[in-house]
Amino acid sequence: MTFKKSHILVRFLIVVFFIAGAYVLIQAGNGRCAENYPFPEPEGCTVVLVGKDASTDGSVITTHTCDCSFCDWTWRHVPAMKHPKGAIRKIYHISQYKTWPPSEGLKWDKHFKDDFTGVEIPQPPITYEYMHGMFGYMNKHQLAIGESTVGNRKKMNNPTPSATFDITALTMIAMERCKTAREAIKTMGTLAEKYGYGFHDNGEMLAVADTKEIWIFEVMPVGPLWTSKSGKPGAVWCAQRVPDDHVSVCPNESRIGEIDLNNSDYFMASPNVISYAEEKGFWDPKSGEPFSWKKAYSPSEASAANSNGSRARMWRFCNLVVPSKKISPDTRNMDFPFSVKPDKKLSLKDVMSILRDKYQGTPYDPVKGLQGGPFANPNYMPRPFKYKGDTYNTARTISVNRVEYTTITQSRDWLPDTIGGIIWLSFGAQDTSCYMPLYNGITYIPRSFKIGDHWEFNRKSARWAFGYVDFHVQVAYSLAIQDVNKALEKWEDSALAKTPIIDKLALELHKQDPEQARAFLTDYCLNNANQVINAWWELGDTILVKYSNLWIYNKVKRKTEKIIYPEWWRKALVEYDKLTPQPKKKK
């Protein structure tokens, strides 16, 4: 065999093995594809979207619950930068999930050292400052983002290097370059089309907001055989605007249904949004059925009822915001409207309550029966379990105990951008954590936000302060959560009440000197965050001592009190263990 023929054969085999490897990855899936399971993967993140006329104060609101249980939780503040003519920006593959031991360095240092895709794009003259954790969350123009994985049909996955962009990288580019939601959507969509989307991610949804509007943007890969030389888009995407007086939710399920591309005020999409579905057989124009984005690319038969509560977030959200409609839990999630007008406008406190919701008083309440144990703990058995070969679903509530952090963003058009934008950040599980305000104008964040790891306890990490409290609360939940709620009244409620005052003081300073206003906001946010973190370390110690040995240690009286277990628990114990009562004393 000649060298030339041998060389061609080797190249052919490389291509074959590459495609075969990609095929194996696709077949293995990652638990988030519409064809892998009867229902899409339920473990991800919840996003709530609130239009400006649906909020009590006119804020445009997004949320993101980073429900992972093992992901990197570190945050950074990225400063604005000027770039000379001809400067380039390297694109990196950034995994939502991968972590390293702290001794190997911070996540962002690692990514920017090891995960260069080989693709470079031109830099604009100026990139904007912004804050990000797992994703970019808000930039200097109050552009805000929240994320939820929605999955897609299995054959659409593209885990190959031809997919330059994953979802984290797209959000960072949007933060760096865009001022409005529409601009961000077009920028992310265009980049995904040109350079390919996927690699670490499949179907993703982003809530993209500015001071005027909020949109749902969904982007999906187009299969492992795509290359930039094909002349075809390397992604398929669609976006729909939430009406200003409406609210919406994304609980890991595609939300966009029928689309009207002639109505550019409410819809945007890639040029292949319909043709790709036809080409792959996901939708037949001869069927007489109108094209539906979610039915074509990420179909699901799930409802709250047929999943025994594991896919109940859509129903529960509507149950909370439009109780007047009395929507049945049998309603398929695919049949819910894209958005709804709430029975009453939502305050920031209402949104916090929604994100802490655990289906209290519903058929899917996780403390009913035995599941919650004697202390009504809603965090027991939060995942499906097996028994004698059968799998049983448990309710997947909006608030789960595996959260890295939660964000609530406010974009407010009646204030300068440095004051109008706020990220309310809580680390760890929502029910045992505290939301802390980070005004858009702050120039740096606490170092404790930048460090920490699931596998190494670290008292210098803010995330561990809230994990410390959460762990001790689980022991006697129904009692200890009352101690947490008292702390929330002191720290969270007071921060909410102070916001108008801080706004006013910052605005007065801004009129004199914008930099003084930024310094004031930075001092306020960092001081508040550090006080909350210290308070939570103390709260963890207090709960540890107070409920030690499953007694109540009364510090003031310096006496112990018995914890009285509920009667149903004592009855179950007697019946299950066949206990016999002590002989009664003779009179």
Pairing mode, strands 422-427 and 436-439:
antiparallel
**Angstrom distance (rounded) from CA 460 to CA 484:** 21
Res 82 pLDDT > 90: yes
Which of the pair, 444 or 26, is modelled with greater confidence? 444
Across the range 40-53, mean pLDDT stands at 84
φ, ψ dihedrals at 364, nearest 5°: -110, 20
Mean pLDDT, the chain, whole residue set: 91
Confidence at residue 4, expressed as pLDDT on a 0 to 100 scale: 39
User: How far does Cα 300 stand from its chain's mean position?
Assistant: 20
- What mean pLDDT do residues 101-130 have? 90
Please tell me the predicted confidence (pLDDT) of residue 14. Answer: 33
Task: Report how far Cα 355 is from the mean position of its chain's Cα atoms.
Answer: 11
CA–CA separation, 521 vs 563, rounded Å?
45
Rounded average pLDDT over 38-43 = 50
What's the token pair of residue 260? 């009207």
Q: What gap in Å lies between CA 532 and CA 488, rounded to an integer?
A: 10
| Type and span of the H or E element at 11 | helix 3-28
- The answer to whether residue 46 scores a pLDDT higher than 90 is yes
Please count the residues of the chain: 587
- Judged against a pLDDT cut of 70, whether residue 12 lies above it is answered with no
Distance CA 472, CA 377 (A): 12
**Portion of the chain with pLDDT greater than 70, in percent:** 93
Largest CA distance in the chain: 108
* Global confidence as pTM: 0.92
Q: What is the pLDDT of residue 36?
A: 39
Nearest to 201 by CA among 324, 31, 79: 31
pLDDT tens, residue by residue, 154-179: 999 999 999 999 999 999 999 999 99
CB of 280 within 8 A of CB of 155?
A: yes
DSSP, collapsed to helix, strand or coil, labels residue 248 as strand
User: Is pLDDT of 16 > 80?
Assistant: no
Q: Which tokens in the block code for residue 531? A: 């006080």
Tokens describing residue 340: 């709804």
419-448: burial string, b at 16+ Cβ within 10 Å, e else: bbbbbbbbbbbbbbbbbbbbbbbbeebbeb
Residue pLDDT, tens place only, 496-505: 999 999 999 9
Confidence class for position 122, pLDDT limits 50, 70, 90: very high
Q: Is the pLDDT of residue 40 over 60?
A: no
Is residue 523's pLDDT more than 50?
Answer: yes
Q: Provide Rg for the chain, Cα atoms.
A: 25
58/179 Cα distance (integer angstroms): 19
Two tokens, residue 493? 């409620």
Closest CA to 403 of 97, 44, 108: 44
- Does residue 295 carry a pLDDT above 90? yes
Nearest to 401 by CA among 65, 38, 57: 65
Strands (E), 328-379: none
Tell me what percent of the residues of the chain surpass a pLDDT of 90. Answer: 84
How confident is the model over 360-374, as pLDDT tens digits?
999 999 998 899 999
Average pLDDT over residues 551-568: 92
- Phi/psi for 285 (5° steps) reads -65, -20
Residue 33 scores a pLDDT above 80: no
φ/ψ of 140, rounded to 5, equals: -65, -20
How far apart, in whole angstroms, are the C-alpha atoms of residue 330 and residue 312?
Answer: 10
Residue 5 DSSP SS3:
helix
Token readout for 568 is 């149903």
CA–CA separation, 336 and 315 (whole Å):
8
pLDDT per residue as tens digits for the range 376-424: 999 998 778 899 999 888 899 999 999 999 999 999 999 999 999 999 9
Q: Name the 3-class secondary structure at 231.
A: coil
- pLDDT in the model for residue 26: 34
Contacts of 384 (CB under 8 A, 6+ apart): 310, 391, 392, 393, 394
The per-residue pLDDT for 436 is 98
* Cα–Cα separations (whole angstroms), residue 51 to 60, 91, 340, 346: 5, 32, 10, 10
* Contacts of the segment 385-390: beta carbons below 8 A, 24+ positions apart: none
**Residue for token digits 């638990």?**
31
Asked if 400 and 370 touch (Cβ cutoff 8 Å), the reply is no
Burial (CB count within 10 angstroms: exposed 0-12, middle 13-18, buried 19+), residue 572: middle
